[in-house]
């Protein structure tokens, strides 16, 4: 049984525009707008063609199939991530900036979370971020495979902390819950756990988004402290 051949939109030259005013960049920008409005389930070549005033068939001149289109929009997401040059600001400042930028971009484009691990990040923007991340951890003092392990540790933290936040924000957007009723239900479930009840019975409740931001910062500092401690040992 022969293995399936790996293909990617990045391994072939982009085709020239088939009609005046049409380009792959225009198609990608329109796809991102559609994704931001309707999510992955709302994206189809037919809908995208209608948005651009073109038939779905004409779009296949630029991309062979929908997954190629998703590769292109995925790389645009990586292009929105920013970080300073590690050599100019130091590895911790660069890592902090990148982590926050990744989180903000994912929250701005919640659908991108569903592409993590599903599509290869082989576009020029993703390669740029990966290169800076490697330089960042080499500057810190990591060597060999530890450079890759440090990078995967940082990205795993950002993904693991941000994905539940995206799911929560989506749930809150789709349904309007009564906050006091929710607390009452949680308090009922936690009636045998006094420490949890004490936390929920505070007179002042913080904004959930503020709590999420503080929790992200707490975890990020802890991860970077751990990586720094590993270098010291």
Query: Is residue 64 a part of any domain in this protein?
Result: yes
pTM across the whole model = 0.85
The range of the structural domain enclosing residue 118 comes to 82-232
pLDDT of residue 57: 72
In terms of domains, do 209 and 127 share one? Answer: yes
> Are 133 and 41 part of one and the same domain?
no
- Do both 219 and 135 map to the same domain? yes
pLDDT 10s digits, 25-52? 889 999 999 999 999 999 999 999 888 8
Last residue within a domain, chosen from 22, 51, 77 = 77
Tens-digit pLDDT profile for residues 108-159: 999 999 898 788 889 999 999 999 999 999 999 999 999 999 999 999 999 9
Are 27 and 133 contained in the same domain? no
Q: Which tens digits make up the pLDDT trace of 64-98?
A: 888 899 999 999 999 999 999 999 999 999 999 99
Check residue 1 and give its pLDDT.
54
The answer on 95 and 187 residing in a single domain is yes
DSSP 15-75: PPPSSTT--HHHHHHHHHHHHHHH-GGG--HHHHHHHHTS-HHHHTTT-SSHHHHHHHHHH
Residue 182 and residue 129 in contact, taking contact as beta carbons nearer than 8 Å: no
């Amino acid at each position: 049984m022969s293995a399936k051949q790996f293909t990617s939109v990045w391994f072939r030259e982009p085709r020239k525009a088939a009609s005046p005013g049409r380009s792959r960049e225009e198609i990608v920008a329109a796809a991102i707008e559609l994704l931001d409005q309707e999510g992955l389930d709302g994206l189809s070549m037919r809908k995208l063609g209608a948005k651009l005033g073109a038939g779905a068939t004409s779009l296949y001149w630029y991309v062979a199939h929908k997954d190629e289109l998703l590769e292109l929009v995925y790389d645009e997401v990586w292009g929105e991530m920013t970080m300073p040059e590690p050599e100019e600001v130091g590895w911790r400042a660069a890592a902090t900036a990148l982590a926050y930028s990744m989180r903000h971009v994912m929250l701005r484009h919640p659908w991108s979370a569903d592409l993590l691990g599903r599509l290869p990040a082989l576009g020029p923007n993703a390669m740029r971020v990966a290169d800076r991340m490697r330089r960042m951890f080499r500057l810190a003092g990591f060597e060999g495979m530890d450079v890759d392990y440090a990078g995967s540790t940082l990205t795993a933290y950002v993904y693991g902390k941000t994905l539940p936040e995206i799911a929560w924000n989506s749930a809150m957007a789709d349904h309007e819950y009564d906050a006091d009723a929710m607390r009452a239900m949680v308090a009922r479930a936690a009636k045998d756990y006094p420490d949890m009840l004490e936390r929920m019975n505070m007179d002042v409740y913080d904004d959930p988004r503020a709590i999420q931001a503080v929790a992200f910062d707490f975890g990020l500092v802890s991860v970077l402290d751990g990586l720094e401690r590993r270098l010291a040992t």
